[in-house]
Amino acid sequence: MDPKVEIRRLFEVMPASGRMTVKIVSKPEQTQVIDTVFPLPWNQERPIYINFDLWGRLTKPQRDLLLLQKVAWLTGIRWFKPDIYQGVVLAGLLGGLVESAQSDVVGVAIAGGLSAIALLRIWRSNKSSDSELNADTTAIKVAQRRGYSQTEAAQHLLSAIETVAKIEGRSGLDFIALIRCQNLRAIAGFSAVGVPESFS
């Protein structure tokens, strides 16, 4: 597989929102088929790293859905959306500046601690099963605009998750991947049991 040709094709598969920030990078030395790094607020580019030697072992529909899911996850991460945790981070930072100007070491420590806790909460919410399930749903919706039916898209993403685990030599799927697979089985019509509301 020629990485340049495949990158051009994948770029066309991506939604317009992903094309502005997501960059596909060939990384033949990595052991994962596809990988991303959690984007920090100051990172404008959001790279997706692909080992094209391993990537070529997947079918074209599996590759499409796997890419769409990663793009949906990356573009779904919002550091600066108005909610309680972003407010606490901002309040903590402003409080830290005020306390620092007044040379109040305890106040600076408390403000810094509040900011750190809120930042950790934002990071954890973006690494949760909920964010992965949302990315799966978004990927399936985009795939439907690319000619796949909802059922087909769910089947291809499900098989991609399972195939990637085999290619990478993993003995099984982690907890979040198992939740995702159960949800995709329900969408694909393979199972009447979906993911409980407590997970989504």
Q: Is 90 in a helix, a strand, or coil?
A: helix
Residue 16 has pLDDT above 80, yes or no: yes
pLDDT at 127: 63
Residue 106 has pLDDT above 80, yes or no: no
pLDDT digits (tens, 9 = 90+) for 162-200: 999 999 999 888 898 999 999 999 998 887 666 655 444
pLDDT digits (tens, 9 = 90+) for 116-141: 666 666 656 566 678 899 999 999 99
The model carries a pTM of 0.77
pLDDT at 200: 46
* Sequence ranges of the domains in the chain: 3-78+127-199, 84-126
Name the amino acid, one letter, at 186: A
pLDDT at 39: 81
The DSSP code sequence of 105-173 is HHHHHHHHHHHHHHHHHHHHHHTSHHHHHHHHHHHHHHHHHTT--HHHHHHHHHHHHHHHHHHTT-SS-
- Under 8 Å between Cβ of 158 and 185: yes
Mean pLDDT of 135-149: 95
Q: Of 67, 120, 62, 64, which Cα lies nearest the Cα of 92?
A: 120
Sheet holding 46-50, edge to edge: 22-26, 46-50, 34-36
pLDDT digits (tens, 9 = 90+) for 24-48: 999 999 999 999 988 877 777 899 9
pLDDT digits (tens, 9 = 90+) for 47-86: 999 999 999 999 999 999 999 999 999 988 776 555 555 5
Mean pLDDT of 5-16: 94
Mean pLDDT of 135-150: 95
